[in-house]
Amino acid sequence: MIKCDGDRAADSSYSAVEHLARAIFVGRDWRKCIMAMFSAHFDDSGTDSKCRIAVASCYVGKVEQWDLLTKAWDEIRKQQNLQFEYFGTSDCFLGRNDFDGWSPRKKDDLIRYLICLIHIRTRIGFSAAVIKDAYDSVLTGWKRRIAGETHFAFAVKDCLRQIKRWRDEYKVSEPIEYVFDLMGEGKEEIEAILADLQKCDPESFGIYENGYSFKNKRLFPPLHGACQRV
């Protein structure tokens, strides 16, 4: 059974989210600002060319809610009967690394808790998937440059379009800080996409100057939630 003392979690002295938000949203109430957490999932290995499907996922929420999620998640993973350092969806499902020897019930309880926590603390989630072979066969040359050189870039663009529709439909006007899972291949392309949107149509996507960053999800718990979505 997973237990969480909400008050104690909320009183935790350190949060990676609060640290980032205070640095970014200078002069503003960081608790009321919005962050979008992006994560990529390419089967088990991330960049394995043999993987058939590439997926990008994203959750959007107020910084104060991400902060509460982070503190609750840190408390959960330090419980005596759990004690894992980093949550990876495939690791948990397959019983690898910190989850070696876990019973199906124990893994299921943890995943259900994370899903519940994410749904409580975020406003909305988005995801996009691409079958890599089909993408490579259809999109070549100039079409590929427009759609996205990497599969992840294409999936991120689709998530961004979903965010734009959501902002339009619900009249969301606040700017968004976009936080991405730190990665190698495709990072420069993502930066270029966001820079172009910031120049051409910032209000539609809530993008402001330098309003995006790349983090290591092992050190930034909100990105675990995005990973769970895929």
Give the model confidence (pLDDT) of 1-18 as tens digits.
555 544 444 444 556 677
List Cα–Cα distances, 95 to 8, 31, 83, 98, 99, in angstroms.
30, 36, 14, 8, 5
What values do phi and psi take at 23, rounded to 5? -75, -35
pLDDT by residue (tens digit) across 65-106? 888 888 888 888 777 577 777 777 778 888 888 888 888 898
pLDDT by residue (tens digit) across 43-60? 333 345 567 888 888 889
Question: Residue 72 in contact with residue 2, Cβ under 8 Å?
Answer: no
Instruction: Name the pLDDT band for 114 (thresholds 50, 70, 90).
Output: confident
Q: What is the mean pLDDT of residues 147-175?
A: 91
In a domain, 201, yes or no: yes
In a domain, 93, yes or no: yes
Q: What's the token pair of residue 101? A: 């020897």
Q: What is the mean pLDDT of residues 212-229?
A: 73
Question: Residue 81 in contact with residue 108, Cβ under 8 Å?
Answer: no
In a domain, 1, yes or no: no
Question: Residue 88 in contact with residue 72, Cβ under 8 Å?
Answer: no
Amino acid identity for residue 140 in this structure: T
Instruction: Name the pLDDT band for 139 (thresholds 50, 70, 90).
Output: very high
Q: What is the DSSP-derived secondary structure letter of residue 59?
A: E
State the total domains in the chain: 1
The residues near 58 (Cβ < 8 Å, ≥ 6 apart) are 36, 37, 38, 39, 125, 126, 127, 159, 163, 226, 229
**pLDDT of res. 5:** 47
What CATH number is attached to the domain comprising 141?
A: 3.30.420
In a domain, 130, yes or no: yes
**pLDDT of res. 8:** 44
**pLDDT of res. 38:** 62
pLDDT above 50: residue 148: yes
**pLDDT of res. 225:** 63
Domain that holds residue 160: 6-229
